[in-house]
Structure 1
Amino acid sequence: MERNPDTATQLSVSDFEEHAWLLQQQYPEQALKHFSAWRFTDEVDPARLEAALKAVITHIPELNVRYRFNDEGELLKVREDDWRACVAMLQADDDSQAQELLLAHQSQPWDAENQPPLAALIVQIKTDVILAFVLHQVLDQTCREDDLYRMTLDAYAGRSVGAPHLPWLQRHGTAGADAADTVAVAPPADAGKVVTVILEEFRSALGEPTMAQDDDFFDFGGHSLLATRIIGKLLSSHGIEVQFNDFFSTPSAAALASRAQVIGTAGACALSEQAHEVQKAPFALAQASLGRAYAAFEFGTIFNLPFALDFLDEVDERLFEQAFTDLIERHASLRTTFHFEAGEAYQQRIAPGQLGRFKWFWSSGESEGASLASEASYQFDLSRELPMRVRFLRDPQSQRQTLSLLVHHMAIDEWSLNVMMEELGKAYLARAVGKAPVWEAPAPSFHEYSVHEQAKGMNQQHLAYWTDMLRPATLGLALPAVDGASRAAVGEISTRAEWFEIKPDQALIDHLYSFARQNNSSLFGVVYSAIALALHKVGGLQDLVIGTSASGRTDPAYYETVGYFTTMVAHRVQFDSRQTVGALIENTSRLINESMAYADVPMEHIQQALGMTPADGLLFDVYVQIHANNALNGALPTPDARSIRYRHIDPDKNQSMFGIQFEIMENMLDGQRSLRLVVTYRSDRYSAEQMARVSAAIEQVFALFVSPEGAAVKVEHVRA
Structure 2
Amino acid sequence: MPAIFFLLWRSGRYTVAQFPAHRTPVTPSPPFNLEPAPMMENQPESQPDSRLSNHEEYIWMQQQSPDSSLSELRAWKLGDKVELSRLLQALQTLTQHYPELDARYRFRDDGELVKTYAASTSPRVDLRQAHTTSDMARQLVEWQEVHWDLERVPPFKAAIIHCNEDVILALAAHKILAESWCVSRILQTVSGLYLDEPLASARHVLPAERVPALPSSVAPIQWSRNASGHAIQSLQTPLVPLGRARYLALKYKVSLSTHEIPLAPIASEGVDITTLRVIIATHFARFIAETGQHETIGLSLITPGGTHRLTLRPGDGDVLAHRTIMETIKGHASSISEPDDALPWIEINLTGGLTSPDGIIDQELLIPTREAHTDFMLAIMPDHGSSIDLVLTTGQAVSSHAGVFLLDRFLCRLASGEPSVSGLDTQPATSAEDTREDVADRLDIAMIILEEFRTTLGAPEMQQDDDFFDFGGHSLLATRIIGRLLDSHGLEVNFNDFFDAPSAEALAARISVTRADCSPSPSPPQTVASSKAPLALAQTSLWKAYAAHDFGTIFNLPFGLEFLDAVDESLFEQAFRDVLKRHAGLRTLFYQQDGRTWQQAISISELADYRWFWTSRESQGITLQDEASHRFDLASELPLRVRFLRDSKTGNQVLSLLVHHMAIDEWSLNTVIDDLRHAYLARSSGSEPLWTRPAPPFHDFAHQQHTAGVDPGHLQYWKDRLAGANSQLQLFSGDKPEETETASLAADWIEQPLTQEISNRLYAIARHHNVSLFNVIYTAIALTLHSIGQSRDIVIGTSASGRTDPTFYETVGYFTTMVAHRISVTPEMPIARLLDNIQHQIGESMAYADVPIDLIQQALGMAEGDGLPFEAYVQIHAKNALNGSLATADGETIRYRQIDPDKSESMFDLQFEIMEDNIEGENHLRLVITYNADRYHKEQAEKLGATIRKTLSFFAEHELLNAPVSEVTL
Q: 1:341 to 1:616 in 2, by over 3 A?
A: farther
1:445 CA displacement = 1.0
Does residue 699 (structure 1) correspond to residue 915 (structure 2)? The answer is no
Show structure 2 runs of 5+ residues with no match.
1-229, 242-249, 251-364, 367-400, 410-434
User: One-letter code of the match for 1:585?
Assistant: L
Q: 1:291 to 1:267 in 2, by over 3 A?
A: farther
SS of match in other structure, 1:712: coil
Q: 1:311 to 1:421 in 2, by over 3 A?
A: same
Q: State the match for 2:873 in structure 1.
A: 623
Does residue 207 (structure 1) correspond to residue 458 (structure 2)? The answer is yes
Does residue 666 (structure 1) correspond to residue 916 (structure 2)? The answer is yes
Describe how 1:532-551 pairs up with structure 2 within 5 A.
Answer: 532-551=782-801
User: One-letter code of the match for 2:642?
Assistant: V
User: One-letter code of the match for 2:478?
Assistant: A
Q: 2-side partners of 1:624 and 1:685: how far apart? A: 18
Q: State the match for 2:548 in structure 1.
A: 296
1:708 CA displacement = 3.5
Q: 1:618 to 1:217 in 2, by over 3 A?
A: same
1:490 CA displacement = 8.6
The higher-RCO structure (CA 8 Å, 6+ apart) is: 1
CA contact (8 A) 1:308 1:648 kept: yes
1:420 pairs with 657, 662, 672, which one? Answer: 672
User: One-letter code of the match for 1:598?
Assistant: Y
Does residue 527 (structure 1) correspond to residue 774 (structure 2)? The answer is no
User: One-letter code of the match for 1:235?
Assistant: L
Identity across the alignment (%) = 52
Q: 2-side partners of 1:628 and 1:318: how far apart? A: 30
CA contact (8 A) 1:283 1:346 kept: yes
Q: 1:288 to 1:559 in 2, by over 3 A?
A: same
RMSD value, Cα: 3.0
Q: 1-side partners of 2:732 and 2:810: how far apart? A: 46
1:221 CA displacement = 2.1
Q: TM-score, normalised by structure 1?
A: 0.73
Q: State the match for 1:321 in structure 2.
A: 573
Does residue 278 (structure 1) correspond to residue 525 (structure 2)? The answer is no
Does residue 252 (structure 1) correspond to residue 503 (structure 2)? The answer is yes
SS of match in other structure, 1:380: coil
Q: State the match for 2:698 in structure 1.
A: 446
Q: 2-side partners of 1:267 and 1:257: how far apart? A: 15
CA contact (8 A) 1:389 1:406 kept: yes
Q: State the match for 1:505 in structure 2.
A: 755
1:719 CA displacement = 2.1
Q: State the match for 1:556 in structure 2.
A: 806
1:195 pairs with 446, 468, 481, which one? Answer: 446
Higher gyration radius (CA): 2
2:639 pairs with 387, 401, 405, which one? Answer: 387
Q: State the match for 1:333 in structure 2.
A: 585
Q: State the match for 1:239 in structure 2.
A: 490
1:684 pairs with 934, 941, 955, which one? Answer: 934
Q: 2-side partners of 1:204 and 1:169: how far apart? A: 35
Q: 2-side partners of 1:685 and 1:269: how far apart? A: 53
Q: 2-side partners of 1:229 and 1:607: how far apart? A: 28
Q: 1-side partners of 2:521 and 2:441: how far apart? A: 27
CA contact (8 A) 1:661 1:679 kept: yes
CA contact (8 A) 1:546 1:570 kept: yes
CA displacement 1:525-569 (0-9 Å, x = unmatched):
000000000110100101100000000011110011111000000
Q: 1:419 to 1:255 in 2, by over 3 A?
A: same
1:306 pairs with 526, 544, 558, which one? Answer: 558
Does residue 349 (structure 1) correspond to residue 601 (structure 2)? The answer is yes
Does residue 262 (structure 1) correspond to residue 522 (structure 2)? The answer is no
1:700 CA displacement = 2.2
1:278 CA displacement = 1.0
CA contact (8 A) 2:562 2:899 kept: yes
Q: State the match for 2:90 in structure 1.
A: none
User: One-letter code of the match for 1:380?
Assistant: F
Q: 2-side partners of 1:166 and 1:688: how far apart? A: 47
CA displacement 1:420-467 (0-9 Å, x = unmatched):
111112222222232222223432111111111011000110111111
Q: TM-score, normalised by structure 2?
A: 0.55
CA contact (8 A) 2:487 2:521 kept: no
Q: State the match for 1:468 in structure 2.
A: 720
Q: 2-side partners of 1:214 and 1:551: how far apart? A: 28
SS of match in other structure, 2:782: helix
Does residue 712 (structure 1) correspond to residue 956 (structure 2)? The answer is no
Q: State the match for 2:270 in structure 1.
A: none
SS of match in other structure, 1:449: helix
1:271 CA displacement = 12
1:272 CA displacement = 7.7
1:388 CA displacement = 0.5
1:491 CA displacement = 7.7
Q: 1:587 to 1:406 in 2, by over 3 A?
A: same
1:260 CA displacement = 1.6
Describe how 1:9-408 pairs up with structure 2 within 5 A.
Answer: 163=234, 186-264=437-515, 275-341=527-593, 343-396=595-648, 398-408=650-660
SS of match in other structure, 2:916: strand
Q: 1-side partners of 2:497 and 2:232: how far apart? A: 20
CA contact (8 A) 1:167 1:465 kept: no
Higher helix share: 1
What is the number of residues matched between the two proteins?
557
CA displacement 1:224-278 (0-9 Å, x = unmatched):
1111111112222222221110111111222112112233358999998964331
CA contact (8 A) 2:491 2:518 kept: no
Q: 2-side partners of 1:377 and 1:257: how far apart? A: 50
Q: State the match for 2:305 in structure 1.
A: none
User: One-letter code of the match for 1:650?
Assistant: D
Q: 2-side partners of 1:479 and 1:200: how far apart? A: 48
Show structure 1 runs of 5+ residues with no match.
1-158
1:325 CA displacement = 1.1
Q: 1:455 to 1:266 in 2, by over 3 A?
A: farther
SS of match in other structure, 2:927: strand
Q: 1-side partners of 2:760 and 2:528: how far apart? A: 47
User: One-letter code of the match for 2:483?
Assistant: G
1:319 CA displacement = 1.3
1:215 CA displacement = 2.4
SS of match in other structure, 1:248: helix
1:210 CA displacement = 2.4
Q: 2-side partners of 1:504 and 1:381: how far apart? A: 39
Q: 2-side partners of 1:231 and 1:212: how far apart? A: 19
SS of match in other structure, 1:625: strand
Q: State the match for 2:197 in structure 1.
A: none
Q: 2-side partners of 1:537 and 1:454: how far apart? A: 43
Describe how 1:632-643 pairs up with structure 2 within 5 A.
Answer: 632-643=882-893
SS of match in other structure, 1:355: helix
User: One-letter code of the match for 1:633?
Assistant: N
1:186 CA displacement = 4.1
CA displacement 1:498-544 (0-9 Å, x = unmatched):
11111121111111111111222111000000000011010010110
Does residue 602 (structure 1) correspond to residue 852 (structure 2)? The answer is yes
Q: 2-side partners of 1:631 and 1:408: how far apart? A: 18
Q: State the match for 1:127 in structure 2.
A: none
SS of match in other structure, 1:695: helix
CA contact (8 A) 1:393 1:403 kept: yes
1:630 CA displacement = 0.9
Report the more deviating stretch, 233-242 or 161-170. 161-170
Q: 1:396 to 1:666 in 2, by over 3 A?
A: closer
1:202 CA displacement = 1.9
Q: State the match for 2:290 in structure 1.
A: none
Q: State the match for 1:514 in structure 2.
A: 764
Q: 2-side partners of 1:695 and 1:664: how far apart? A: 12
CA contact (8 A) 1:545 1:571 kept: yes
User: One-letter code of the match for 1:430?
Assistant: A
User: One-letter code of the match for 2:774?
Assistant: F
CA displacement 1:32-80 (0-9 Å, x = unmatched):
xxxxxxxxxxxxxxxxxxxxxxxxxxxxxxxxxxxxxxxxxxxxxxxxx
User: One-letter code of the match for 1:648?
Assistant: Q
